Amino acid sequence: MSDPVQFLNHSDPGRLTVTGQSKGPHEAKPSEVTHLSAHTSQRNSPVAGFDPPLEVVPAKNPIRCNKRAADPVHPDLAGLLVKNKNLLAELRNVQNKLLIKETSLQEMRSELESYKENNVQQLFQIMSLKDDIKDLEELIASLTRIKSLKNTDIQSLERGNWDLTEQIIELENRLRVHLVEREKAERKADFLEKKLSANRCTRYMNMKGQEDSMDIFMTTDNDEAILAKNLERDIFHFEGPKNGQKISDKCLQDLIHKEEQISQLDKPPYSFCWETKKTQSQYQNFLDHLATLQSNSVVPIAATEEAVKQRIQEIVANRQSWKSRTEGLQQEIQILNKRMEQLHHLYEEVIQESSQAEEKCREEKKSLKCLEGKIAINDLFQAKVDLDRKKENSRTRNSQIEEHDEKFKQLEKDEKQIFLRIQQNVQIATTQRLEKKVQKLQKQLSDLKLSNKNMKTQLTRVNVLKNKTMEKLRRSLTEIETMKEKAVMKTDNMKTPLDCGEQEARSDRERVHQILGAVTRKLDTAESKLEDTSGREQELADFRETIMKILRFNMKTADKEVINQLRLIIQAYEASNKKSKIASDGAKLECDSRTKSGELANGGEYGFEEKR
C-alpha cells in the first residue's frame, strides 16, 4: 500500500531534507518550508557572523502530513515530525546561546580595549618618570661640576691665606726692628744724660782748680777720682774753648739723631694701622661677596662669619637631604617599574588568553558549521554539554578579567597615595625650613644692630684718641724744634750762666721722658692692634678651612673659584626649591617673604648707612 520513504538526505550538509513519495491520484509538489522564526533569522544576520541557519525542507505540505499522521498506514511520519519539531527548538536554543556568547565576546573586546588604553596611560607615566630621572641625572652632573669648581675656589682661598700669613710675618719683623730701635734710643738718651752731668762737673771743678790746685793734689787716696776730674778740667782750661765747642757739637748731633729715631718710631704705628685697615677691608669685602652670592631673592644674608657658615651648612644639609630624597624616589621608581612589568606580563597573558579564546571560538564556529550538516540528532545532546562547559570557561575568564581590573585599580590608588604623601612631606619640610630661616634672620638682625652700635662707639673713641695723640705729637715736635734752637743758642753763647743751662737740661730730660712714654704707649697700641689682626686672620683662616671641609676642596684653591662654586650651588638649590614648591603654598610664602624681605631691606639699608 505504501511506497518506500526516503527519510534523511545528507547530500546538502547545511540542510536537513525530508521527502516522501506515494502513488495516488493526487501527487503533491515539493515545497520548501522554513521552520525557523523571523526573530531567530534576524539575530543570525551578518551581525552575529554565523552562516545561514539550518532549514528543514519537507517534501509534503504540513496539512497532508498531518492527514497522513492521522492515518494508521503512516505511523512513522508522525513520530518523525515530532522529533523534527523538538530538534528545531533545540537548534533555536543553541543559536540564542551562541548570540549570548558573541555579546560576551564583544564585552571582552571592549574590556581589552580599555586595558590597552590604561596600558598606554601607564606607558606615558613611565615616560614622565624617565624624564624625571633624566632631570635628576642632570642635577647630579651639575653638582659634580660644582664640586670641581668648589675645589678650585678652595685652592684660591688657600693661596690668599698664604699671602696674608706672609704679610703678617713681615709686619712682625718690622715690629721687632722698631723695638730694637726703641731700645737703642733709650740707651742713647741715658748716655746723653751722663754726658751732660759730666760736663757740669768738669766746669765746676775747673773753677776751683785755678785757685787751689796744689791743695787738691795733696789730698788722700780717697780723693783720686777728684784729682782725675781736676786734671781733665785743667786740660779743658788750657786748651781753650775749641774743645768745648766740639763737645757741644757732639751733643747737638746726638740730639738730632735721637729726634730722627723718635720720628721713625712715630711712623710705624700709622703704617701698621693702614695695613690692619687694609686686611680688615679685604676680609669684610670677602664676607660681603659671599653674603651676596648666598642671599636669595626672598631672604638676604648678613655679611658675617656666622651667617655665611650657617648658610653654607644649610646648603650642604639641603644637598644631602636632596640626595637622600632622590635615592628614595629612585627606589620608588624601581618598585613602580617592577609593578608595571608585572602588570605588563599579566596584560600580555590576558591578551594571549583572549586571542586563544577567539581562536577557539572560531574553531568552535567551524565545528558547529560542520556539525549542523553532519552530526545527527543524537549528537545535539553532546553539543549542549559542550556549550555548558564553554559557559563555565567563559565565566571563569570573566572572573579572571574582573580580578585583573581590581588589581589595576588598586595599583592606581596606591600610586596616587604615594604621590600625595610625597607632596605632603615636601610641603611640611619646606614650611619648617622657611620658619627656621626667618627666626635665624631675625636673631641675626638683632645681633647686627647691637654690633653696629658698639662699633660706632668704638670708632668715636678711637677717633678721639687719634686726635689727642696727633695733637700731643705736634706739640712735642714743636717743643723739640724750640729745644734745638735753644741748644744752638747755648753753644754760641757759652758765657751764659750754668744755672739756666741746668734748668733747660732738666726740662729737656722731662720732655724726652714724656716723648718716650708717648712712644711706648703708641707701640703698645700698635702691638694690641697687631694681635687683633692676627686673631682676625686666624679666624679668617679657620672660617676658610671650615668652608673647604664642608665643600671638600683643596686648601690651595683661589677665592674666585670658591665663590663661583658657591654661586652654582645656590642657583641649583634655588631651582630645586622652585620645583618642589606647590602653587598654593608658594603664593602664601611669597606674600610672607615679600613683607619680610621689605623689612630686611630697610634694616640692611639702615645698617649700610650706619657703616658709612
pLDDT bracket for residue 595 (50, 70, 90): low
Mean pLDDT of 10-25: 39
Give the model's pLDDT for residue 325: 77
6-9 sheet: strands from edge to edge: 6-9, 15-19, 55-58
Cα 571 to Cα 583: distance, rounded to the nearest angstrom: 20
Question: Nearest-CA neighbor of 188 among 244, 253, 137?
Answer: 253
Task: State the residue range of the domain holding 82.
Answer: 6-93
The pTM of the full predicted model, rounded to 2 decimals, is 0.21
- 179 lies in a domain? no
CA dihedral 393, 396, 401, 403 (to 10 degrees): -170
Cα 24 to Cα 525: distance, rounded to the nearest angstrom: 157
- 181 lies in a domain? no
Coil, strand or helix at 6: strand
Cα 496 to Cα 478: distance, rounded to the nearest angstrom: 24
Residue 320, pLDDT > 70, answer yes
Most confident by average pLDDT, 53-67, 90-104, 143-157, 442-456: 90-104
412 vs 596, residue with greater confidence: 412
- 319 lies in a domain? no
- 1 lies in a domain? no
Mean pLDDT of 175-198: 77
pLDDT bracket for residue 205 (50, 70, 90): low
pLDDT bracket for residue 63 (50, 70, 90): very low
Residue 61, pLDDT > 50, answer no
Count of structural domains, the chain: 1
580 vs 74, residue with greater confidence: 580
Q: State the first-to-last Cα distance of the chain, in angstroms, to the nearest integer.
A: 143
Cα 394 to Cα 389: distance, rounded to the nearest angstrom: 9
Cα 539 to Cα 519: distance, rounded to the nearest angstrom: 30
The maximal CA–CA distance of the chain, rounded, in angstroms, is 215
The DSSP symbol for 300 reads -
3-state SS of 59-92 is CCCHHHHHHHHHCCCCHHHHHHHHHHHHHHHHHH
pLDDT bracket for residue 451 (50, 70, 90): confident
Mean pLDDT of 456-464: 81
pLDDT bracket for residue 528 (50, 70, 90): confident
Is there a contact between 522 and 266 (Cβ–Cβ < 8 Å)? Answer: yes
Which of 115-129, 345-359, 456-470 has the lowest average pLDDT? 345-359
- 80 lies in a domain? yes
Please count the residues of the chain: 612
Q: What is the CA radius of gyration of the chain?
A: 60
Is there a contact between 561 and 155 (Cβ–Cβ < 8 Å)? Answer: yes
Cα 280 to Cα 275: distance, rounded to the nearest angstrom: 9
Which of 32-46, 258-272, 408-422, 455-469 has the lowest average pLDDT? 32-46
124 vs 351, residue with greater confidence: 124
**Single-letter code of the amino acid located at 233:** R
DSSP-derived secondary structure for 230-257: HHHHHHHHHH-HHHHHHHHHHHHHHHHH
Side-chain-side CA neighbours of 340 within 13 Å: the count stands at 18
- With a CB cutoff of 8 Å and minimum separation 6, the contacts of 351 are 112
Cell reading at 451: 654690633
Residue 596, pLDDT > 50, answer yes
CB-count exposure of residue 375 (10 Å: 0-12, 13-18, 19+): middle
Mean pLDDT of 343-362: 75
Residue 500, pLDDT > 80, answer no
Instruction: Give the phi and the psi of residue 6 in degrees, each rounded to 5.
Output: -95, 105
Residue in the structure block whose three cell numbers are 627606589: 331
Which of 145-159, 240-254, 432-446 has the lowest average pLDDT? 240-254
Residue 49, pLDDT > 50, answer no
In 95-178 the beta strands, taken as DSSP E runs, fall at none
**Single-letter code of the amino acid located at 423:** Q
Angle between helices 559-580 and 75-211 (to 10 degrees): 150
Cell reading at 237: 782750661
Residue 266, pLDDT > 70, answer no
Most confident by average pLDDT, 76-80, 298-302, 418-422: 418-422
Cell reading at 282: 679685604
Q: Which residues pair with 9 in a beta bridge?
A: 17
The DSSP symbol for 46 reads T
- 535 lies in a domain? no
DSSP-derived secondary structure for 491-532: HH-TTS-HHHHHHHHHHHHHHHHHHHHHHHHHHHHHHHHHHH
pLDDT bracket for residue 231 (50, 70, 90): very low
Mean pLDDT of 517-535: 72
Residue 559, pLDDT > 80, answer no
Residue 196, pLDDT > 50, answer yes
Residue 270, pLDDT > 50, answer no
pLDDT bracket for residue 291 (50, 70, 90): confident
Instruction: Give the phi and the psi of residue 332 in degrees, each rounded to 5.
Output: -60, -40
Coil, strand or helix at 578: helix
Residue 81, pLDDT > 80, answer yes
83 vs 588, residue with greater confidence: 83
Residue in the structure block whose three cell numbers are 546561546: 97
Q: Which residues pair with 15 in a beta bridge?
A: 55
Mean pLDDT of 11-39: 39
Question: Nearest-CA neighbor of 192 among 555, 483, 485, 610?
Answer: 483
Residue 256, pLDDT > 60, answer yes
476 vs 256, residue with greater confidence: 476
Q: Which residues pair with 57 in a beta bridge?
A: 17
Mean pLDDT of 52-78: 48
Question: Nearest-CA neighbor of 398 among 135, 197, 109, 6?
Answer: 109
Give the model's pLDDT for residue 540: 73
152 vs 607, residue with greater confidence: 152
Give the model's pLDDT for residue 67: 45
Give the model's pLDDT for residue 504: 73
**Alpha carbon 93 to chain centroid, angstroms:** 74
Residue 9, pLDDT > 50, answer no
Mean pLDDT of 169-177: 74
Give the model's pLDDT for residue 376: 57
- 31 lies in a domain? yes
- 45 lies in a domain? yes
Percentage above 90 pLDDT, the chain: 0
DSSP-derived secondary structure for 87-139: HHHHHHHHHHHHHHHHHHHHHHHHHHHHHHHHHHHHHHHHHHHHHHHHHHHHH
